[in-house]
Structure formats: structure tokens, C-alpha cells
Structure 1
Amino acid sequence: MRTLVRVLNLKQMSYLKAYDIQISVMNDIKNSLKCGSSEVNNTLILVEHKPVYTIGVRSKPYEDLHLEKRLKGLGAEFVRTNRGGLITFHGSGQLVVYPVLYLGSFDTLNRSIRCYVRSLETTLIHLCHSFGVKTSVVEGLPGVWVDNDRKIAAIGIHCSNSVTTHGLALNCNVHLKWFEEVVPCGLSDKTVTSLSRELKRDVSVEEVIPRFLDSFQSNFKCDFK
């Protein structure tokens, strides 16, 4: 029997409000596991955020109050998180997905964080391919890339007791000027791109979601409920 996953589309929502929902779902899964339940409420949270810069656990280079003040002055929030990675931007035109999953529910993952991240990367690669955009992974660098130097999707996760939070962000038609204000993910020799830029047409989050769900379902061997 294939694992069932709930899809929760939050539409547009602030980062912190969506984070509270993530934590609530995570706690629900952990409580189910503690009670010995054979079924947990694995959930895919889909959201477009209001402009926000987030930094991960490798945040030392960004503990600069002047930087925080400057970014807030652009009209964006600034949030410190417990995900992996450095600084990145989330905003309108970007599909953000938070898979809150118990890895033990998925036979193909073997409760392995590495297998989980690879499955996220493969999901994104197949999705981009469905649009005619060839992407790949770059050894040692998280996320998905076009021609090895243009980042189209970011991945930053957290895992506690085999339950995942945080996730991925795919640039659909996000305004790329936001990324010019920082060094995304600490990579000064790389650039950021989007499906819209690569295809030279507008590609909305709404257009991308069905293809993302198809790719996720195929790669994670699950069904949606």
C-alpha cells in the first residue's frame, strides 16, 4: 500500500505564520508516533511567502545588524531559522514547499536524510524537465541548477527523530532583483534564475503546482488524500 500524504495549500502567507503551521503538523506526527499509531498525518505544505530573507544554521556571516536593517528597509522580513544552509529569499512568484513527513513512512527513503534530499532534488529535476528546462545537481551544493551556474531551486531542511520540516523553494516568476541584495546561499560566483527567465514567458506558481504534485507523487511513491 502506498503512503498517503495530505496536501495543504496555504496560498499567500507570511513566513512565521506558515512556520507555526509546520510546527503544529510536526508535533501532530510526533505525538502519533509516541502513541504507537500506524498512521501519521504526512503533509505537503504549499505556500507563497510575503517578501522575507531567511538564514539557516550556518548564519555567522549574516549576524550583522546593518544587513538586517537594510533588508528590512526594502520591505522584507528577516528571520533566523533552524534549517540547513545560509541566506535566501522567499517571495511572491516562488513556490515554497514544506514536506512535513515521517521518513519511516516511505520505504524507498530508508529513514535516510541523504535519500530524502536526493528525492527532493529528483522531484525538482523532473518537474523542470516537464517544462523543457534541463537541470541538474552540483556536487557539494544543495538545490537544483541550470548549466551548473544558475540556481533555479533551493533546498534547506531540518530533521528531528525522522520527521522533516522546512523544504524547498522553486523560482517560478519571482522578481529576481530580491536576490541581488544578498549572496544567495553564500555562493558569490553563481547566479539565480527562474522558470520564467529560462522559458522567456510568464510561468506562475499556479501553473507549476500540478506538475510539482505529479513529480512528487511519482518520486516518493505516494498518493494524495
Structure 2
Amino acid sequence: MTDEPNPPAPHAPYGTPEAPRLAVQGEARLAFDPEIARIGITVNARGTDRRTALEDLTRRNSLALDLVKSYGDAVEKVETGAFSISPELTRRGRGERVRAYHGRVRITAALTDFTALGELATRLADLELTQVDGPWWALRPDSPAYAEVRRHAVREAVKRAREYAQALGADLAALVELADPGAEDARPAPSAFAGRMRSAAPETAEDAPAPALDLEPRRQTVHALVHARFTMTPPRL
């Protein structure tokens, strides 16, 4: 019967004099051009009765959707969100009566072609009783930018640990642990176009098309943080 080799002794929580332990933090923060822009579109309607309000809302919603979809591949995704028809009440005598009905549909569009963004936003805002919000710039969830920032954070951790070790006349020996608390994308701040554009009257044949907005993409900041623990050679104190 042969003796099994003894298992390696576990590392001491704080290392040993022969293999001191070194814990550092690596951090990186880089800026990237956005990959996608989202705009919010709110279509409104008003009528003296529920059916009239609903018919007007359906017509205006179709106009807005057709306009967005006419940009083809420049628009990556179109989604319809909240829809509502609500009465506007007025008090007469001792009771309340319905004065009018208000309808609203919320649409979100995501664009990848930023050259078409300003023109589309302007044309949407030129529609009757239509409100436009945005744009909100972002990176895709699977953007390679996140991996690049994490690599920078790891290299920064190794660099920092080596500098500490060399300050003691030692060098790094082995990596003990690399912990990833997560890489997070900083929330984009509202751009100069984050206000609202409204159109209250229908466009007539005499009206000239509104000039397209020139929207400058806002660069996105990505942050990554890692915790790393190393062992190092005995220092020369």
C-alpha cells in the first residue's frame, strides 16, 4: 500500500512570512460611443365621446407607427407601452358629468442609425397632438465595451499589487483570488434633447417641413471593479 501524497496546507488567512499575502483592488473607467438611442413617443387624442376619442387615437397611433417603421433598418425595435382612455369630468349642479374623453398611447423606438434620429424625432414632433421625449443613449447589454473595461481593471489590479511587492523588495508569486463585484454602466444623464417637443395643430399643405434636429451622441462611461489577492516572495526588509 502506497502512501498518498500529503495535501497542500491551506493558505493562512493573512499569509505566512515565507508567502505573504497581498490584497488589492483594480478599477477602470472608460468612455465609449453609444450603440443605441431610444426615444419615447406619446400620442394623444381628445373627443366629446369615447368612440370619437378612440378613433382619433387609433388613427394618430397608426400614423406615428407607420412613420417610425418607414425608416427601416435604422429602427431596431418599436414597442407599444401604456394605453389609456379616461373621462374628463365637470361639475354641474349637484352631480358630475363627462365633459370629454382623453386618450393616450405610449410608444418606444430604439434606433441604431443616429443620422436618421434627428429627422425622425422632428417629424414625429410635427404630428398632431404628439409628444417626443429623449433621446436616451446606451450601450447594448452584450457590448464588447464591458469586457474591455474588465480587462483594464484586472491589469490595474496586477500592476498595483506588483508595485506594492516591489516596494518591499519582493515580487508576486501567485494569484490566490480574483473577485468580481460586477461591472456597471453609468446611467446616461439627460441630453440637451431630453425635454419634450409637442405639436398641437395638424400640419397644413402650406407648412414647410420642420428642419431635422442635429443630435450629438453622448459618450457612455463604463465602470469595472475587481478585488484580487496574491502571494508574494519574502520581502527584503
Structure 1 length-normalised TM = 0.21
Q: Which structure: greater helix fraction?
A: 1
Higher RCO (CA-CA < 8 Å; seq separation 6+): 2
